[in-house]
Homo-oligomer: A and B are copies of this chain.
Amino acid sequence: MTRRIGQILLSGGLDSTTLACVAQRECYDLAALSLDYGQRHRQELDAAALVAAHLALDHQVADVRFYGTLASHSALTDADQFDLPENRDTDAMSGDIPITYVPLRNTFFLTLAAAQLESIVLRRIENDGVPPEDITPVLYIAANALDYSGYPDCRPDFYATAAETLRLGSKIGTHYGLPIQIETPLIDKTKADIVRLAAELDAPLHLTWSCYNAGSRPCGTCDSCQLRQKGFAEAGLDDPAL
């Protein structure tokens, strides 16, 4: 029986908070990473910290604002140039790639999380003397292809190939035979499924922030708010964050 050493990308939204509860049940150790990339909805970072504290997760917020500067062609990182889409029908969101796409964001995020996870696993093996065969490194990402298939980096084939890149580019993958497993258990779920799962797991949804806008309350009109509202409505539950 190997020990799962887990890492989760925690945005502070509905999906990653629910996934954190799933991962916490599956892992021996779980570390959470949030990324400050200059996103306009910085409230999600505060939400992530509250969620991590609630779940007693080891949590870091990494300052990757330079990434937002380099990958600036997006409505999430350049508020001067781009307006957020408003009041779009959720069915319309699954077609084209929206202007909220941030260049290679998930690739960048998962690489960074994987680098931290590899470092943790190398320390266990090389400093603490844990046998590699006792370890299973797992990276949890709350990607969701169903509601928002417009984003290329939320699709299953992307994650399969990314896992192979991480295996080939890492010491734990090539030398210790411990490829990082990328787990995306929410990828085929609807938002309503996720809301129901969160309720089952008693996930602290009252602490989460999904809105793409800054503000003291969710705007209710951006794509992310629209999807969240639809999810709660279809699940027949009230949103505890409102």
Residues of chain A touching chain B, judged by Cβ–Cβ distance below 8 Å, are 33, 60, 62-64, 66-67, 70-73, 96-97, 101, 103-108, 111-112, 114-116, 118-119, 122-123, 126, 152-153, 155, 157-158, 161-162, 164-166, 168-171, 173-175
Contacts and interface: CB of A to CB of B under 8 A. Distances in A.
Of the listed residues A123, A152, A164, A173, the one surrounded by the most CB atoms of chain B closer than 10 A to its CB is A152
Contacts of A118: 71, 73, 103-104
A73 B122 contact: yes
B162 A115 contact: no
A106 B108 CA distance: 12
Contacts of A104: 111, 114-115, 118, 166, 169-170
Contacts of A105: 115
Q: Which of A115, A126, A158 has the most CB of B within 10 A?
A: A115
Given A103-B170, A152-B174, 6 more contacts: A64-B66, A70-B115, A70-B116, A97-B174, A104-B118, A107-B170
13 contacts: A67-B115, A70-B112, A73-B123, A103-B115, A103-B171, A104-B118, A152-B168, A152-B169, A152-B171, A155-B168, A161-B161, A162-B165, A164-B165
A181 to B, nearest CB: 15
Nearest to A124: B73
Contacts of A62: 66-67, 70
A122 B103 contact: yes
B164 A168 contact: no
Contacts of A152: 168-171, 173-175
A166 B107 contact: yes
Nearest to A158: B168
A18 to B, nearest CB: 23
Given A66-B63, A66-B64, A164-B161, A119 B71 contact: yes
Contacts of A169: 104, 106-107, 152-153, 158, 162
A110 to B, nearest CB: 9
A33 to B, nearest CB: 8
A54 B166 CA distance: 35
